[in-house]
Amino acid sequence: MSNNPFYKLSGFIQEWIFSHGWDELRDIQIEACRIIFETDKHMLLSTGTASGKTEAAFLPAITEIYENPPASIGILYIGPLKALINDQFQRLEELLDAADVPVWRWHGDVPRNLKQKMLKHPSGVLQITPESLESLLINKTVELRRIFGDLQFIVIDEVHVFMSSERGRQVQSQLERLGKYFMKEPRRIGLSATLGDYQLAEQWLQGATGIDVITPAARGLRNKRLKLAVEHFFHPNPNPTSFTEPARPSGGKFLPAHQYVYEQTLGTSSLIFTNRRDEAEFLVASLKEIARKQGTPDYYYVHHGAVSGELRESTESIIKDPNQPSVTAATLTLELGIDIGSLERIVQLHSPFSVSSFLQRLGRSGRRTGVSEMLFVHYEPEPSENKPIHELIPWQLLQSIAIIQLYLEERWIEPILPHEAPFSLLYHQTMSILASSGELSPAALAQRVLTLSPFKNISMADFKQLLKHLLEIDHLERMEDGGLILGIEGEKIVRNFRFYAVFQDSVEITVKDTTREIGRIAHLPNTGERIPLAGFVWEVTDVYPEQKAVLVEKVAGKMRYFWPGPGMDIHTKVLKRMRKILFEDTRYKYLQPGALKRIDQARKLARIVHVDKHVLFQLAGKKWCIMPWIGSIAYRTLQRLLDIMGKDSLGISRISGWAPYYLRFEADDQEPERLEPLVKALVMQANTPRELVDPDEQFLMNKYDKYLPKLLQQKVLAEDYLDLEELQQLAKDWK
């Protein structure tokens, strides 16, 4: 009996397990207990959603800090989303209530008085976002040893999200900066449901600690039953993605896809994932309108990053209630590990960007039943016979099928691509370290910054170039003794709360009614304008430019509003699988009648025009289209190559397209037999990505790129956003 890890857990945890009706610990929880209790290693837990990862991490770690209470915070939990932290907080608070072990939340929506309580008595578990951790590093420097000095565990949730983003490199930097305050190196526990490369994840989690990482065997979704369906509709509106799209097509009928979503989710607890905020708002407005006409209850909600924290938390509480139906349209904010036990169905509007995102969203359902259910809904304008080839391909439908098949056939998930030139983060951490430390000599600053693992590939020459530029633009100031401090302009940036985040945030205007904050929008509207937000339409009654706020009142109707933001890259393997689908005869079982008919049409067309033999198609006269079937990075490289190198040699101009599916352009040569090999030869002639960067070009992809010298901006573009080697390898297969 003593060998059973269950009996090594603290007594109050054993009682909590019994009170929740558990018959036994799950395999992943048993393995996690053994690793925590019997080794001193880091641990990476990568299993499917609802597999018990959170409990596997926390139950043994809490036992350790309960049996041997540390003199500071014992467990630091870092999560990517406020919603995830709020959810985990409720679960941990219930568990720890009887043990007198405090659990604290720390993010932008947590009241100041609760943060002050933690600062007075740092102990137990602290749950925090990277942005709030950055704030502590800058503003509470003298207290960091007291807060974290005896830290025992660092739990990093949704590791795959951090690994693939600037925030993940920020977290690596933060933990290494905190390292000088630790009495001993805390053990790290990483959690993820979707990892494609475990070795890379282990290296990321290990960081600069030198401690090995143990990863128990992963099971993913393999033990779950999957119920998938993909449907497609032709839209009667000639431009269904227009931001001025009417509420319904002519004749008073509702949009077929919206009507279908209404019918499929009626009376259920469902999540609808969209790829854009405006899609979520517009869909919910349509569902509310249909419900009013049908005389059914309105239980439709919106959840995305521009909705206020209060309303998001209210929606999360409603979603979790097993006694009432709810249908919520969401973006990435509900993709990650928030526990929604009663959720019955996931609906995906159009295709997700990746296999990883598909698995995360699929995993939201079936936590209690063991059946993960997901319905894909696609719609597009009905194509006319005179449309060009690239407009007759159902790109999004193909992408959904490709993503599903890549997982079902290969269990493949996108690998995490390294970033060689993280100069935006370099600026951020340089300014953060100076803000927290005060004056530093250039050598001391370089030693503190360049020894952080995200900057291992940054040369001293590049760092000196950055410092010189920051002195020129008054972000830094040189003292008489040669030391560096924040300059006047740098102080303005660092002392603004938005500095703590390394991701782009264009949402700045606060929207309020007479009682509360509704959310935020990107641009200051005029009085009388209408805004769709949080599932309703609001009319602006007052505008306060200096406060960056507007006052609104609720009105009837629905409309579109555009939130700016970058898209997400799609992997080349997805595009290759999409092309393969066109030349298969397989009738996938999950395809519903509309989707099956649309795929049959696309396959027939692809064979007629020989999409398997050509990538270049003549549209009319000098107008051409290239469908290269390559991922976003290679597509971006090709677009630049045609623009910069193709102008003089081939007379290429007027380039446009839909990334990464096709490019349109005009060219002098009007013979397909000549132009296609010439384009291929042009691709193979390029030597380095730097040839595809204009010497006068500014590249402003990341948040702090605008503060970099131009040469470093161009280096970011060439090294992290272009891949000439991949493009040339793929071009070898062009017929």
Please report the pLDDT score of residue 3 as a whole number.
77
Write out the H or E segment, with its range, that includes residue 349.
Answer: strand 345-349
* Dist CA 329 CA 274 (whole Å): 7
Dump strand ranges (E) for 55-152: 75-78, 103-106, 125-128
Please report the pLDDT score of residue 254 as a whole number.
82
Of 300, 309, 350, 352, nearest to 328 (Cα)? 300
* Dist CA 16 CA 641 (whole Å): 61
Please report the pLDDT score of residue 243 as a whole number.
34
The pTM for the full model equals: 0.90
Task: Assign domain 423-494 to a CATH class.
Answer: mainly alpha
* Dist CA 133 CA 255 (whole Å): 45
Question: Considering the domain 225-410, what is its CATH architecture?
Answer: 3-Layer(aba) Sandwich (3.40)
Residues lower than pLDDT 50 in the chain: 1, 238-247, 249-251
Half-sphere exposure of 651 (CA within 13 A, CB side): 9
Half-sphere exposure of 303 (CA within 13 A, CB side): 29
What is each CA distance from 546 to 97, 509, 524, 543, in whole angstroms?
Answer: 45, 10, 11, 9
Phi, psi of 191 (to 5 degrees): -125, 135
What are the structure tokens assigned to 46, written together?
Answer: 């990568």
Please report the pLDDT score of residue 257 as a whole number.
96
Please report the pLDDT score of residue 579 as a whole number.
97
| pLDDT above 70 coverage of the chain, percent | 94
Residue 660: asked if its preceding bond is cis (omega within 30°), the reply is yes
Q: What angle do CA 519, 522, 525 make, to 5 degrees?
A: 90
What are the structure tokens assigned to 336, written together?
Answer: 């990650």
CATH topology of domain 5-214: Rossmann fold (3.40.50)
* Dist CA 95 CA 77 (whole Å): 16
Neighbours of 421 (CB within 10 A): 21
**Cα of 511 vs its chain's centroid, Å:** 25
Taking phi first (over 0 means left), then psi (-120 to 50 degrees means alpha), and beta for anything else, what does residue 504 get?
beta
The pairing of strands 536-544 and 517-521 is unpaired
Confirm if 120 and 207 have CB atoms less than 8 A apart.
no
Please report the pLDDT score of residue 13 as a whole number.
92
Please report the pLDDT score of residue 680 as a whole number.
94
